[in-house]
Structure 1
Amino acid sequence: MTKIIFMGTPDFSVPILEAVHNEYNVDLVVSQPDRPVGRKRILTAPPVAAAAKKLGIPVYQPENVSKEGLEIITQLNPDLIITAAYGQLLSEKVLNIPRLGAINVHASLLPKHRGGAPIHRSIIEGDEKTGVSIMYMAKTLDSGDIIAQKEIPILDEDSVGTMHDKLSYLGRDLLLEVLPSILNDTNHRTPQNHEEATFSPNILKSDEYVDFNRKAREVFNQIRGLNPFPGGYTLLDGKRLKLYASKITNEQTTEPAGKIIEITVDGFMVATKDELLLITEVQPAGKKRIQAVDFINNNPSYVGLVLGE
């Protein structure tokens, strides 16, 4: 009987775990340790660990699986390790344990967007398409041979939230499609062109600040590329204002970048380097997300102020 270890942490990985377990039976789930969450800092299990417990799968949550988990993984003697957004690099010793190797479900069309934030970066950088890659894991980050890929378009209506869900299910379906050949050791593998590699590191605090002194399309991409997590922000009247949604207007402007120009039925217009951008959803400091039109109608004196000052 085939033995499978699944390694994953966030919501992205849950549908993939559930599908693999339903079809093949997962023997062990490895996930990140429980972490404090929310303002009350309540110790909370990561989504994959919580899902595994509901499925009745044993769960192992080491701080560093390559250092702490070598003996456990060796004793289990898995045929295959499957990872999906696990969040840790695996050592060569771990990668060499399974008979059929270790594979990863990665949310980009490798070799583009290697790293921890491929979904965010693909939207922020204005990519017209993205996808998922099933790949063999290697010592260097996201550099292993490709087993299969599938692409989908990135629409203007998409955000990190929508693309996250689309790619999770796309990765699930593609993995189920290729797993039989992987388990039979008859699948194809294609080396990546490392010269074409680009990197998408995790989002930093500095990436969250929205600078309106850029073209409207760039600002639009950044806002939706941070929605719903972690959320982009600017400053308004000295207070932080999170920006969650906007719309391209194609209306040219010569007003100072960041200036709130007018109120509309859908929100408020802000000048960028070339065009007006309609802000449609915001979150004032210490409050809940609301429609931008409600926010600005409650604060009409903000019209004429410049965001970021």
Structure 2
Amino acid sequence: MTSIVFMGTPTFSVPILRMLHEEGYKILAVVTQPDRPVGRKKVLTPPPVKEEALRLGVPVIQPEKLRGSAELEQILALQPDLVVTAAFGQILPKVLLEAPRLGCINVHASLLPAYRGGAPIHQAILDGQKEAGVTIMYMAEKLDAGDMISQQAIPIEETDHTGSLFDKLSIVGRDLLKQTLPAIEDGTNNRTVQDETMVTYAHNISREQERVDWQQNARTIYNQVRGLHPWPVAYTTLEESNVKIWWAQIGSAKHTAVPGEVVHIAKDYFEIATGEGESIAVYDLQPAGKKRLSAEEYLRGTGAKLQIGDRFE
């Protein structure tokens, strides 16, 4: 029976861990990020992978930083046959990469060599890509640069956002890993070197990427809204106060207004002018210091004074 140390943190990783357990692999330990404060009340909250590991009765290791830590020595002492990672959040040190008999593999949520880095799903939607996917790969010291073992692509639907695509790719990753592991165990798996001329990166989302530029066309802004939904969420400003745009769609209003101006107000949405004479229809938003609201709730309350010609910056 192949012994595994599994390393992962968010909900993306949970179905993958569950599959390894259900398939009867010997999971020696689960390594995940430390518990973090969450929400306005800063409640110390365990990562989703920790909760699943505890449910399965698997020991949990939570290093703040893996390199040079006592937790690293603890992992090495387990002498796993294989290390499997899925959105763990840290680069593995060389001593760990070289330790397992079958190596260290990663379930990466992109079609490598495209979108190496920590936000491949966000970036694929931000860039308006038509497909996404998962790559099972050997890990290397360089970020997401290891040899590829297997890949599976799926279409990005027009209504997909980062949250829905995370859920889809988590299942794709689970199933692809299940199919790929037997070949890794018996040494018959493929091993394809990445084409360095085709490499692109998806770095963690910056605050600058979250701010809407109304000069952009409607398609670009729609991709931004859905690429940042449900986290970290696109935002704009109205009267020098931040407003989060939780959900919007490409609008139908044609106009000659300045980008950022309100050009149409309906019962359950309002439209904001974008570049190229187009518009974005806002359906779900959150004014600063307020709870998240539907546009209908907003227009009945806080936004009751919103008028045609008011401008979001």
Check whether the contact 1:237–1:305 (CA below 8 A) recurs between aligned residues. Answer: no
Aligned to 2:289: 286
1:271 and 2:273 aligned: yes
> How many Å separate the matches in 1 of 2:126 and 2:22?
35
> How many Å separate the matches in 2 of 1:289 and 1:42?
20
> How many Å separate the matches in 1 of 2:92 and 2:139?
8
> How many Å separate the matches in 2 of 1:65 and 1:21?
24
> How many Å separate the matches in 2 of 1:289 and 1:25?
44
CA RMSD, aligned part only? Answer: 1.3
1:302 and 2:306 aligned: yes
- SS of 1:18's equivalent? helix
Change beyond 3 A, Cα 1:265–1:153: farther
Aligned to 2:250: 248
Aligned to 1:223: 225
1:214 and 2:216 aligned: yes
Aligned to 1:37: 38
Letter in structure 2 aligned against 1:244: W
> How many Å separate the matches in 2 of 1:71 and 1:281?
48
Q: Quote the offset at 1:289 in angstroms.
A: 1.9
1:141 and 2:143 aligned: yes
> How many Å separate the matches in 2 of 1:296 and 1:243?
14
1:44-94 alpha-carbon deviations (Å, 9 max, x no partner): 211111110111000111112231133222211110000000000001111
Unaligned runs of 5+ in 1: none
Q: Quote the offset at 1:158 in angstroms.
A: 0.6
Aligned to 2:80: 78
Q: Quote the offset at 1:250 in angstroms.
A: 5.2
Q: Quote the offset at 1:32 in angstroms.
A: 0.8
- SS of 1:243's equivalent? strand
Aligned to 1:106: 108
Unaligned runs of 5+ in 2: none
> How many Å separate the matches in 2 of 1:250 and 1:136?
47
Q: Quote the offset at 1:227 in angstroms.
A: 0.5
> How many Å separate the matches in 2 of 1:292 and 1:259?
16
Letter in structure 2 aligned against 1:3: S
Provide the identity percentage: 48
1:26 and 2:30 aligned: no
Q: Quote the offset at 1:245 in angstroms.
A: 1.2
- Runs of 4+ in structure 1 off by over 6 angstroms are none
Q: Pick from 101, 105, 120 the counterpart of residue 118 of structure 1.
A: 120
Aligned to 2:17: 17
Aligned to 2:263: 261
Aligned to 1:237: 239
Aligned to 2:6: 6
Check whether the contact 2:253–2:264 (CA below 8 A) recurs between aligned residues. Answer: no
* TM-score using structure 1 length: 0.96
> How many Å separate the matches in 1 of 2:217 and 2:260?
11
User: Which shows bigger deviation, 261-270 or 125-134?
Assistant: 261-270
> How many Å separate the matches in 2 of 1:297 and 1:218?
29
Q: Quote the offset at 1:213 in angstroms.
A: 1.0
Q: Quote the offset at 1:247 in angstroms.
A: 1.2
Check whether the contact 1:131–1:151 (CA below 8 A) recurs between aligned residues. Answer: yes
Check whether the contact 1:89–1:141 (CA below 8 A) recurs between aligned residues. Answer: yes
Check whether the contact 1:133–1:149 (CA below 8 A) recurs between aligned residues. Answer: yes
Check whether the contact 1:244–1:282 (CA below 8 A) recurs between aligned residues. Answer: yes
> How many Å separate the matches in 1 of 2:66 and 2:22?
25
Check whether the contact 2:212–2:236 (CA below 8 A) recurs between aligned residues. Answer: yes
Q: Quote the offset at 1:238 in angstroms.
A: 2.4
> How many Å separate the matches in 2 of 1:257 and 1:189?
50
1:124-151 alpha-carbon deviations (Å, 9 max, x no partner): 1111111111110011000111111111
> How many Å separate the matches in 2 of 1:148 and 1:250?
42
> How many Å separate the matches in 1 of 2:298 and 2:72?
53
Letter in structure 1 aligned against 2:20: V
Which runs of structure 2 are paired with 1:90-105 in the superposition (5 Å)?
90-105=92-107
Letter in structure 2 aligned against 1:234: T
Q: Pick from 170, 173, 176 the counterpart of residue 174 of structure 1.
A: 176
